[in-house]
Amino acid sequence: MDTQSIKNRFGIIGNAPALNHALNVAAQVANTDLSVLIVGESGVGKEAFSQIIHALSARKHNPFIAVNCGAIPEGTIDSELFGHEKGAFTGAVDSRKGYFETVNGGTIFLDEIGEMPLGTQARLLRVLETGEFIRVGSSKVQKTDVRVIAATNRELLEFTQKGKFREDLYYRLSTVPIRVPALRDRKEDIPLLFRKFAVDFAERYKSPPVQLEEDARTLLINYPWPGNVRELKNIAEQISVLSTDKNINVYELKRFLPDQPNNRLPMLIGNGQSANNPEFNSEREILYKLFFDMKKDVTELKKMFVEILQNPGEAAAAAAYTKESLLRDYPSPVEYASPATALPSPSSYMQPLQPASSPTVLMPHPHDDIHEHEEVEESLNIMDKEKELILKALKKHKGKRKDAAADLGISERTLYRKLKEYDISE
């Protein structure tokens, strides 16, 4: 089946070269039993590709099931996928078949495969290599004939280097990789998709379809679409329902497009790492890094003050240097104060010490060891700080994981994974 026939059959809109290439690969691999790894950002339509592969394969009359690995708790995912025996765990009042048993002969789509726990990854690898699995709480080996299609919005190869994903499973899954392009990489398809969605919603809500003026069309094409096709579809539905004027200009369209965050953080942090680097993919981690850098600057100022106390003759030169650094790196406090409450300028703090008018400064004894009292700089490692926060949260909530996870702003499953990762025993 050619690319255009696939588009017509499955309702695929677009003519971008990257999209056409992905569809060609899906069509070529469909009639085999090879494992497929679909890679792409959230909202690009990875599940649609899994359905295309299944529908064009010899298994098309057998079951197809889509499983979101990130939505199943870590403690129950083995039971969901491979089944369990009666009494295998608390609440197992009866035996239960898993997905690999019920979909025998068909296709299973494992979405968000990067969220799968390491223990379950080992079980999945055995299924892929030998077609064998064991129910939870059983010792009987069972056989299954299931084709596995996996999908992820993460870079699994980087996960393997960090020990978060099995390398052997990665290469076993990615026998045939398919990369679905992001919407911003297929700008020529954006007007076509919007028109299709607008017509569909007009039929659903029995209203005239909206039309974009030229300036609105330009804005729509140049918008970055972080949510990809899913976000475009939501915007089209909002406009179809809420807009009174069916001819949409740029000002009307701006009402529906989310404001892009005005990121005031530096683009590069640390030793030239990008803010988009997976090591700093959390806004909280970026803030932690900035706070720790500020603390480091304060520590350096403390050290400088100690050196001035040790060498009083160099105090004036150090003061001049400190004044110049402050004026260069930080705005003057006067800029943030009203005329009535203006703070003194930095120069007023940098005058040489006057015995008659300044507080007495206690100089250290020549034989005192200043460095014995020097503050030891704390570790700036993000993982150390994350472990420290987890320990504090568990102590605060007396070991209750659910309350600790809520306080930390993460899911209970993520907290459980972090406890294992940092080898924290409650």
The CATH number given to whatever domain includes residue 65 is 3.40.50.300
Examine residue 221 and state whether it is found in any structural domain, yes or no.
Answer: yes
How far is residue 293's CA from residue 278's CA, in Å, rounded to a whole number? 19
Tell which residue, 108, 72, 75, has the closest CA to residue 89.
Answer: 75
Between 290 and 393, whose confidence is greater? 393
pLDDT of residue 280: 44
What band does 397 get if pLDDT is binned at 50, 70 and 90?
Answer: confident
What band does 129 get if pLDDT is binned at 50, 70 and 90?
Answer: very high
Average pLDDT over residues 154-163: 91
From residue 222, give the alpha-carbon distance in Å to each of 167, 184, 246, 382. 38, 8, 21, 36
Tens of pLDDT, residues 368-394: 444 444 444 555 677 777 888 888 888
pLDDT higher than threshold 80 for residue 59? yes
- 192 and 177 in a common domain: no
- 320 and 390 in a common domain: no
- 129 and 47 in a common domain: yes
Examine residue 267 and state whether it is found in any structural domain, yes or no.
Answer: no
pLDDT higher than threshold 90 for residue 172? yes
What band does 354 get if pLDDT is binned at 50, 70 and 90?
Answer: very low
Q: Which domain holds residue 408?
A: 382-421
Residue where one domain finishes, among candidates 154, 181, 208: 181
Between 339 and 204, whose confidence is greater? 204
pLDDT higher than threshold 70 for residue 348? no
How far is residue 222's CA from residue 100's CA, in Å, rounded to a whole number? 44
What band does 144 get if pLDDT is binned at 50, 70 and 90?
Answer: very high
Examine residue 308 and state whether it is found in any structural domain, yes or no.
Answer: yes
Lowest mean pLDDT among 19-28, 252-261, 292-301, 403-412: 292-301
pLDDT of residue 379: 59
Phi, psi of 273 (to 5 degrees): -80, 145
Pairing of strands 141-143, 132-134: antiparallel
Tens of pLDDT, residues 3-24: 899 999 999 999 999 999 999 9
Examine residue 260 and state whether it is found in any structural domain, yes or no.
Answer: no
The predicted model scores a pTM of 0.61
- 9 and 156 in a common domain: yes
- 110 and 35 in a common domain: yes
- 367 and 394 in a common domain: no
pLDDT higher than threshold 50 for residue 233? yes
Examine residue 311 and state whether it is found in any structural domain, yes or no.
Answer: yes
pLDDT of residue 374: 46
Average pLDDT over residues 419-425: 80
- Helix runs in 206-279, H state only: 214-222, 228-242, 250-254
From residue 11, give the alpha-carbon distance in Å to each of 2, 7, 18, 31, 51. 14, 5, 17, 21, 12
Average pLDDT over residues 57-61: 95
Average pLDDT over residues 205-225: 93
From residue 6, give the alpha-carbon distance in Å to each of 92, 148, 211, 307, 334. 44, 21, 28, 74, 66
- 148 and 66 in a common domain: yes
Residue where one domain finishes, among candidates 181, 196, 222: 181
Q: What's the number of CA atoms in the CB half-sphere (13 Å) around residue 278?
A: 10
pLDDT of residue 279: 43
pLDDT higher than threshold 90 for residue 47? yes
Pairing of strands 132-134, 176-179: unpaired
- Which domain CATH number covers 410? 1.10.10
Average pLDDT over residues 240-247: 90
- 108 and 228 in a common domain: no
Between 336 and 321, whose confidence is greater? 321
How far is residue 175's CA from residue 390's CA, in Å, rounded to a whole number? 38
Tens of pLDDT, residues 291-327: 667 777 777 777 777 776 667 655 555 555 555 555 5
Contact 181, 19 (CB under 8 A): yes
pLDDT higher than threshold 50 for residue 107? yes
pLDDT higher than threshold 80 for residue 224? yes
What band does 118 get if pLDDT is binned at 50, 70 and 90?
Answer: very high
Q: Is the Cα torsion angle 324, 330, 332, 333 positive or negative in sign?
A: negative
Tens of pLDDT, residues 68-83: 999 999 889 999 999 9
- 417 and 303 in a common domain: no
pLDDT higher than threshold 50 for residue 270? no
Q: Identify the H or E element spanning 324.
A: helix 315-329
pLDDT of residue 372: 46
- Which domain CATH number covers 219? 1.10.8.60
- 195 and 242 in a common domain: yes
Decide: residue 223, CB within 10 A, 0-12 exposed, 13-18 middle, 19+ buried.
Answer: buried
Examine residue 261 and state whether it is found in any structural domain, yes or no.
Answer: no
- 301 and 194 in a common domain: no
Examine residue 263 and state whether it is found in any structural domain, yes or no.
Answer: no
Tell which residue, 344, 345, 358, has the closest CA to residue 315.
Answer: 358
Please spell the DSSP secondary structure of 118-140, one letter per residue.
Answer: HHHHHHHHHHHHHSEEE-BT---
Lowest mean pLDDT among 173-187, 209-223, 302-316: 302-316
Q: Which amino acid is at 250?
A: V
Examine residue 271 and state whether it is found in any structural domain, yes or no.
Answer: no
pLDDT of residue 180: 96
- 177 and 188 in a common domain: no
Residue where one domain finishes, among candidates 233, 254, 275: 254
Split into its structural domains, the chain has a count of: 4
| Structure token pair of residue 390 | 């987890």
